[in-house]
Amino acid sequence: MNAEPLLETFRKLTASEKIRLVQQMWDEIAEEASHLPLSDAQRQLLDERIDEHEANPDDVEPWDQVRNEILRKL
């Protein structure tokens, strides 16, 4: 597929129209991606993280504390 005609049309849109279009496109991509199976590497990483959490269930930080640390860095 040649994307050039799409890009030409995209260039004619206002900034707000471009933003809306990109948001809609991202929503479409996210919806499709949510139905894709996990790769072996992704599944392994999730399994490792679950195992780590089950081995150390108290090794966590409260969300409020994490959020405040992030906001302080912004």
Amino acid 61: pLDDT: 94
Same domain, 70 and 46: yes
Same domain, 32 and 43: no
Same domain, 2 and 30: yes
Note the pTM of the prediction, 2 decimals.
0.53
Same domain, 16 and 42: no
Same domain, 10 and 27: yes
Amino acid 1: pLDDT: 84
Amino acid 36: pLDDT: 93
Q: For residue range 12-64, what is the model confidence (pLDDT) as tens digits?
A: 999 999 999 999 999 999 999 999 999 999 999 999 999 999 999 999 999 99
Amino acid 5: pLDDT: 95
State the pLDDT confidence band at 74, using cuts at 50, 70 and 90: very high
Number of domains in the chain: 2
Domain that holds residue 52: 38-74
Same domain, 68 and 46: yes
What CA–CA distances, in Å, run from 61 to 13, 40, 57, 67? 45, 28, 11, 10
Q: Which two tokens stand for residue 60?
A: 């966590």
Same domain, 2 and 31: yes
